[in-house]
Copies of this chain bind each other. A is one copy, B any other.
Amino acid sequence: MKPTIKDIARKVGKSITTVSRALNDYDDISDETKQLVRQAAQEMGYIPNATAQRLQKRTTDTIGLILPTFGPRFSDPFFSEFLTGVGNQASEMGFDMLVATRAPGNQEMQSYRSDVATNRVDGLIIVRTRCDDPRIAFLKQAGFPFAAFGRVSGDSNFPYVDEDGSFGLTLIIEHLIELGHRRIALITAPEDLTFTHHRLEGAHSTIQKYGLEIGPEYLLVGDLTQRGGYECAQNLLNLAQPPTAIAAFNDLMAFGAMSAAQERGLSVGKQISITGFDNIPMAEHAHPTLTTVQQPIYQIGRRVCELLIRTIRNEPLDETQVILKPTLIVRRSTGPVA
């Protein structure tokens, strides 16, 4: 069986109190005793029992992340990267990461409630915020520590990291307009997601600035999957007057749109321009390579995680609300209008 401090105490002939304090480097323990205890612990292969420590300290040193998965075949590269960022940061700061996979909805909220209620985690990370986010509303009223990737439409007075989606789409639209495009279509994202509105706002205001507009037939809502992008693009290309450029609200949908265009024999980047958002690693190796907006997903994951852990620890936060400026990555999927 695993040795406990009791075993160490017996071995070195001291009380368990002394052992505990020696191990935790209290300064009312003599150096000799510390030496002795540590040596014994080492020899016996002692490792503290995390559960016992947690019960006593009433903290878990664990953060929770509930991934909003859409269906079983959920496979979004965006989330892998974000998860890696959060995970690495957590481990560097001495925290574990509890992950659950839930489709948005009732079960999801149940998970939040239960995570909070059972004290399984010290705080939660929220991904892909919704305008009117029940998760955030709940955590706020519960007074439970959390940090989010994204804002909400109302009061965003909580720790978050977000990208400036409005600026991102401004970059995209300006790029397309400079290339001479006038018939620009948008494959947007579900309306309940906050970022959809930011990006939409950036797109609209930029279009307007140039005296143009986006007709309703050029405004389609995608589901952020490749299939969704494909289907929306089909519809756009079926129009009597199809667009010369399609701006998708994420890379995955842009890939789907590229497939749809290519299936009709259109040369992407020449006969039609297509853009994405996120700059997932695949964007660089698609054919043609994808013009998109760069979001440092991995870094955002780290940052959100750090924000959360500092909140948990009650450490001062120099910056609680972070908004990052994305940058435009011009590649081969866009070109001058035909």
Contacts and interface: CB of A to CB of B under 8 A. Distances in A.
Contact of A99 (B2, B55, B87, B119): B87
Given A55-B55, A60-B51, A100-B87, A75 B280 contact: yes
Interface string A50-71: 1110110000101000010100
A84 B60 contact: no
Interface stretch (A15-23, A213-221, A223-231, A306-314): A223-231
A256 interface: yes
Given A83-B99, A99-B83, A281 B75 contact: yes
A117 interface: yes
Interface stretch (A130-138, A257-265, A317-325): A257-265
A104 interface: no
A255 interface: yes
Contacts of A280: 75
A84 B88 contact: no
State the main secondary structure of chain A at its contact with B: helix
Interface residues of A, number: 64
A144 interface: no
B227 A255 contact: no
A255 B284 CA distance: 11
A138 to B, nearest CB: 15
Contacts of A24: none
Given A84-B72, A91-B100, A226 B50 contact: no
Contacts of A229: 285
Contact of A285 (B72, B97, B114, B255): B255
Closest 9 CB pairs of A and B: A87-B101, A75-B77, A259-B287, A262-B287, A226-B285, A99-B99, A47-B117, A75-B80, A75-B81
Given A51-B119, A262-B287, 10 more contacts: A51-B51, A55-B55, A75-B81, A83-B99, A84-B101, A88-B101, A91-B100, A96-B98, A227-B285, A229-B285
29 contacts: A2-B117, A47-B114, A49-B118, A50-B120, A51-B51, A51-B55, A51-B60, A52-B55, A69-B84, A72-B84, A74-B81, A75-B281, A76-B80, A77-B77, A79-B80, A80-B80, A83-B99, A87-B99, A87-B100, A87-B101, A88-B101, A91-B102, A96-B120, A97-B98, A226-B281, A227-B285, A252-B282, A255-B286, A263-B287
Interface of A: 2, 47-52, 54-55, 60, 62, 67, 69, 72-81, 83-85, 87-88, 91, 96-102, 111, 114, 117-120, 225-227, 229-230, 252, 255-256, 258-259, 262-263, 280-282, 284-289, 298
